[in-house]
Structure 1
Amino acid sequence: MEKYIKLFAIICIVCLPITMLLMNLEIVTFDISFFKDKYEEYNIENVTGISEENLMLITEKLLDYLKGKRENIIIFTDVGGKIEQVFEERELLHLKDVRELFRKEHVTRNLTLLLSVVSLIYIFYKDKNRLKKILVITSSIQLFLVGMLYILIYSDFYKYFTYFHKILFSNDLWLLNPETDILIQMYPLEFFSSITYRIFVLFLLEILGLLLIALLLPSRKRSKHIGV
């Protein structure tokens, strides 16, 4: 039994943080109100020449596309007084890559969630004392890594944002022209910096919550009597 507990403990320590991070990514990415606030903050209506109402309609369709609810993201709208196609070929190809990433993310999140739940249930029934220890270790490791990652990323956000794209994409379609491409006009670097910061905050709160739950779990003393 001991070897299985150790195995599930490792699975939990690895999979639970991944699950939490990916869930936060989805929460932030598909929060339509977040987009509205950022469009106003970064004055995207004036930058793109697209009204706020149309920006929100485009956003709804874009998020549906990323969720796999639309077959394409070919949209026409009023841009500076003219009806134009919002996203051109290079942008469409990049968005196709992004949608594929979200598909893989969704599969990964479901898999790590399943493994985390199974591991926690198994450990809970086999050794409640070990469960408390595992949750404390998992939370502590996450706190350390989140802190280091936050310092690293925000020391030079553009640098690590570039690394992120080079790792995840096998092409350079993500390199868009802010003078002509509406996609990057709608979502400048500051927008992604805000998303990253919000994910960090949610993740930190969840880690602290997990740590608090772990600390509140009762510690059951092992009996020295044989057979108990």
Structure 2
Amino acid sequence: MLFKMVRKTIDALLIGGMMISLLLAVLLSSLQYVAFNGNFYKEEYEKNDVMSVTGMSIDELMKITKIMQRYLMDKEETLDVSAKINGSMQRMFNDRELAHMKDVKDLFQMGFLTRNISIIVFILIFTYFLFAKSFYKAFDYLLKGTIFIIILLLAFALTVTLNFDNWFTGFHLVFFDNDLWQLNAETDRLIQMFPLEFFQDAVFVIFRNAFFTFIVILAIVYGILKMTKKPVF
């Protein structure tokens, strides 16, 4: 009896680990897609009239954006660059903004590592279930876990939508151990380029893509289980 309880506990922990790793892999991949999608930035700049706010042309904004993307990927050493602003070459970001972007870069690098580790963990645990349990059990665990994640994403999306400002502030308090993220919209170009509306749209796209990814996973797994001609639920 005790052995069975221990086995069930271990299986439950492994199922939880498998689904958490899959959730992280999908969310962080969706984040990477948005963060390095030039078209998304261009649409947001035009939507929020960033050109008028910053005094920069769309081409100049996109040039800085590409440098920023390369910086976050650790392919540029610094963001301390100049740009044509209101007709003259000026320093793009001040020291406070540069320090904050260093923190953001570190967070992105941690995100890349977490995403890669999550993919490996998911594959290892799923493979374990395939051989230690059965083909059917492995996909049954994945199906039920995916349904739970879809419900979780919907609940989280509703919570964030109802009060995005508080969620956004809470996010920064959790992931940053300083107040460098508290910038001045009147003087700091970083927040002029990326107002709150930018992040609202970015979070929406990230969770929308993740949601539909899990819908696809659900459909594929359900179809595989149906082909086994065994009860799905």
- Relative to the length of structure 2, the TM-score reads 0.90
Q: Distance in 2 between matches of 1:38 and 1:6?
A: 43
Q: Distance in 2 between matches of 1:8 and 1:140?
A: 17
Alignment of 1:108-127 (within 5 A): 108-126=114-132, 127=134
Residue 122 of structure 1: how far off its partner (Å): 2.5
Residue 37 of structure 2 is aligned with which of 20, 31, 34? Answer: 31
Partner of 2:75: 69
Larger mean CA deviation between 95-104 and 139-148 belongs to 139-148
Residue 124 of structure 1: how far off its partner (Å): 2.5
Partner of 1:78: 84
Q: Deviations over 1:4-62 (max 9, x none)?
A: 76554332122111111111111111111110111111111111001111100000000
Q: Is the contact between residue 9 and residue 123 of structure 1 (CA under 8 Å) also seen in structure 2?
A: no
User: Does 1:188 pair with 2:195?
Assistant: yes
Partner of 1:168: 175
Q: Distance in 2 between matches of 1:219 and 1:5?
A: 22
Q: Is the contact between residue 129 and residue 220 of structure 1 (CA under 8 Å) also seen in structure 2?
A: no
Partner of 2:228: 219
Partner of 1:224: none
Percentage of identical aligned residues? 31
Q: Distance in 1 between matches of 2:62 and 2:197?
A: 19
Q: Distance in 1 between matches of 2:192 and 2:20?
A: 37
- Structure 2 unaligned regions, length at least 5: none
Secondary structure of the structure 2 residue equivalent to 1:78: strand
Residue 121 of structure 1: how far off its partner (Å): 2.2
Q: Is the contact between residue 8 and residue 123 of structure 1 (CA under 8 Å) also seen in structure 2?
A: no
Secondary structure of the structure 2 residue equivalent to 1:84: strand
Q: Deviations over 1:51-108 (max 9, x none)?
A: 1111000000000001100111011011112211000000000000000001111111
User: Does 1:152 pair with 2:196?
Assistant: no
| CA root-mean-square deviation | 1.5
- Relative to the length of structure 1, the TM-score reads 0.92
1:155 to 1:183, Cα distance in 2 relative to 1, 3 A: same
- Aligned pairs, number: 220
Q: Distance in 1 between matches of 2:163 and 2:54?
A: 27
Q: Distance in 2 between matches of 1:61 and 1:14?
A: 33
Alignment of 1:38-53 (within 5 A): 38-53=44-59
Residue 204 of structure 1 is aligned with which of 201, 206, 211? Answer: 211
User: Does 1:129 pair with 2:136?
Assistant: yes
Q: Distance in 1 between matches of 2:108 and 2:122?
A: 20
Residue 125 of structure 1: how far off its partner (Å): 3.5
